[in-house]
A and B are shown apart, each in its own frame.
Chain A
Amino acid sequence: MVDKKNNLKFKTKNVSVFYGSKQAINKISLDIEEKQITALIGPSGCGKSTFLRCLNRMNDVISNCSVNGKILLDGNNIYSDEIDPVLLRAKVGMVFQKPNPFPKSIFENIAYGPRIHGIGNNRAELTDLVHHSLEQAGLIDEVKDRLDDIATGLSGGQQQRICIARAIAVNPDVILMDEPCSALDPIATAKIEELMSSLSKSYTIIIVTHSMQQAGRVSQKTAFFHMGDLIEYGETPKIFTQPDQQKTQDYITGRFG
């Protein structure tokens, strides 16, 4: 395995996904660079979320889903038998469309990941880790006095940042975000976007979004999906100003979508 660039994180080759007999994505080959934000855009049903869920094998949860092709993380095929999805997901964290904090205290939400992975063996280490994660997620000032409150009582934006902090606490390399702002209001969205930018210094972030503006604001690279195919992939400014493909042009200018 020879990578031309050193900072390639994911390398995918001819990835196809089927739900039963229905094909969701078709032979996607896409390389994702380290410590950048890569956005996946496209109309709904185009397969962008399906592709995202392949990257940490969350599709395994769906019973009739099968994945073909190769996905390499740091050069290792993540669908090979030697890779355990449990360990993979510790490396590749995920934030979901709807904020889904566990119905437990804020502290327990953040500490959950480290606990199951055996990071932070005593209460003090764990507390440090929780504080650190909340700090990185920019939430520490808002919640430091009520770590024992139930997380589901927070506002939507705060809940989503709890979910981000929860993902960070496991110390992943990559964070996948599946339309993380679609259930949030504009102010909360702005906060999350700010957070993404600061996180991209230390993490590789891949975000699925239906908002082109958001992709334009936060990402360095953008991939455009349509009907299960990867239409175009390149530097974000280029995609948004002078795309190579007509379909991309049509989508960007709002002729369909």
Chain B
Amino acid sequence: MIDKNIDQLKRLKLRKNAEMRLKVYGILSISLALIMLSTLMISIGLSGYSALQQAYVKLEINVDSKKVLDEKGGFSNQKALLVNWDGIVSNSFITNFPEITKRSEKRSLRALMSSNAGYELRQYFQKNPDDLDENITIWLSASDDFDQYMKGRFNTSVDEKDRRLSNQQLKWIDFLAMEKISKLKFNTSFFVNADSREPESAGILGAVVGSTLTLTITILFALPLAVMASVYLEYFAKPGRLTDFIEVNINNLAAIPSIVFGLLGLSVFLGFFGLPRSAPLVGGLCLGLMTIPTIIIASRASIRAVPPSIKDAALALGASRMQAALHHVLPLAAPGILTGTIIGMAQALGETAPLLMIGMVAFIIETPDSFTSAATAMPVQIFMWSDSAERAFYERSSLAILFLVGFLIIMNSLAVFLRRKFEKKW
């Protein structure tokens, strides 16, 4: 018989309760972690999705071709410089309100259009010179405050004096929206423009290209070095002080704050070697040094997981150690190395601090076109936008985060998937 004395049963109940408590703590912790992380993503998503749209205003415009075309009928940049595009835009805009005559009112009316609208118009005619001399309807960007108001993100409860839009201006916008002269449309400029002082024309293209250039350098620099180092450590290094020291260094570098790599880049790449500031080349090298330990650690684990019998089989056929390693072990370890590389690259893509140190934090309107031209990167762009005063930049910052995080999640999921798929039990 199993003793069922009261004492023991009482104790058992207590012990079971303790077990339950531990389980509950665990479940609570996991849920709490997941809740916090989803709060983070949802709050960013809610503030960012609206940046997919942008307020545009419909204008009717006619531009005389003589003003902008040269003798041969081509678009002349020099002549176009002399044209008052902003004036054309605001004159057309003001025709929507024939009753307005006062200069001050006209000024506050003009402020509703984006200050880049004239530039947009010019770009349009540069692309479509055939539309000159015609009466055309064109949608041009409204100002960022206009945009925010149409999205319902403009705080109207504040005293009028402290607002960026007056009651009169709000009425005008209401009128335009009601007459369908202004509309929220898909925000193309976010995807095809680089940074700008005006939120309505700021885009992520420059940062995306900058990140791509930077990561190209990073992977070209880090992957070969990391793989060669891992093969050396697993296959050729003799156990001893030097090898130990290398290992300690690698493990330590993997845990050093990223900003330290930025300081290294600032003082060595910029200070000593005189490489250009803000360049993807330098950014890529810094991130590469930071990524190498990550890839080495993953590669070594993956190489170690290949059973020695495979190497022995190759050696027994008369292959050299190098041939055994390169022909047999490395291909079998490749999925693990790939996984490590993806994780390392994802880490590098999201990294901000080292890039701040080497000056990739500048305001750059041009999309970078080489490894040495001044550039910025996605996370830095997010950082800069979220630091700006305009409310409309927050929104764009959130949208940029959604894109960056979406991309990173794809990368990381790919890594997790690859690891699952190729996880071999020998």
Contacts and interface: CB of A to CB of B under 8 A. Distances in A.
A76 B3 CA distance: 11
Contact of B2 (A87, A116, A117, A118): A87
Contacts of B2: 73-74, 76, 83, 87-88, 91
A86 B12 contact: yes
A84 interface: yes
B15 interface: yes
Interface string A66-94: 00000001111000000110111001000
Contacts of A91: 2-3
B15 A76 contact: no
Nearest to A118: B11
Question: Which of A74, A84, A87, A88 neighbours the largest number of chain B CB atoms within 10 Å of its CB?
Answer: A87
A75 B1 contact: yes
Nearest to B8: A87
Contacts of A86: 12, 15
A182 B333 CA distance: 36
Interface in A107-135: 116-118
Contacts of A117: 8, 11
B302 to A, nearest CB: 28
Contacts of B12: 84, 86-87
A118 to B, nearest CB: 5
A118 B15 CA distance: 11
A74 B12 CA distance: 21
Chain B interface size band reads under 10
A210 to B, nearest CB: 25
A76 B8 contact: no
Interface string A7-34: 0000000000000000000000000000
A76 B1 contact: yes
Contacts of B11: 117-118
Interface string B1-20: 11100011001100110000
Nearest to B19: A86
A84 B15 CA distance: 12
A117 B16 CA distance: 12
Contacts of A84: 12, 16
Contact of B1 (A74, A88, A116): A74
A76 B2 CA distance: 8
Contacts of B15: 86, 116
Contacts of B8: 87, 117-118
Question: Which of A75, A91, A118 neighbours the largest number of chain B CB atoms within 10 Å of its CB?
Answer: A118
Interface in A34-89: 73-76, 83-84, 86-88
A74 B8 CA distance: 18
Contacts of B3: 91
Interface string B281-321: 00000000000000000000000000000000000000000
Nearest to A83: B2
A18 B193 CA distance: 63
Contacts of A74: 1-2
Nearest to A116: B15
A74 B7 CA distance: 21
Interface in B11-60: 11-12, 15-16
A11 to B, nearest CB: 13
B204 to A, nearest CB: 47
A114 to B, nearest CB: 12
Nearest to B1: A74
Nearest to B4: A87
A255 to B, nearest CB: 31
A73 B2 CA distance: 8
Question: Which of B1, B2, B15 neighbours the largest number of chain A CB atoms within 10 Å of its CB?
Answer: B2
23 contacts: A73-B2, A74-B1, A74-B2, A75-B1, A76-B1, A76-B2, A83-B2, A84-B12, A84-B16, A86-B12, A86-B15, A87-B2, A87-B8, A87-B12, A88-B2, A91-B2, A91-B3, A116-B15, A117-B8, A117-B11, A118-B7, A118-B8, A118-B11
Given A76-B1, A84-B12, A91-B2, 17 more contacts: A73-B2, A74-B1, A75-B1, A76-B2, A83-B2, A84-B16, A86-B12, A86-B15, A87-B2, A87-B8, A87-B12, A88-B2, A91-B3, A117-B11, A118-B7, A118-B8, A118-B11
The 9 A-B residue pairs whose C-beta atoms are closest, nearest first, are A74-B1, A118-B11, A91-B2, A76-B2, A87-B2, A84-B12, A87-B12, A86-B12, A83-B2
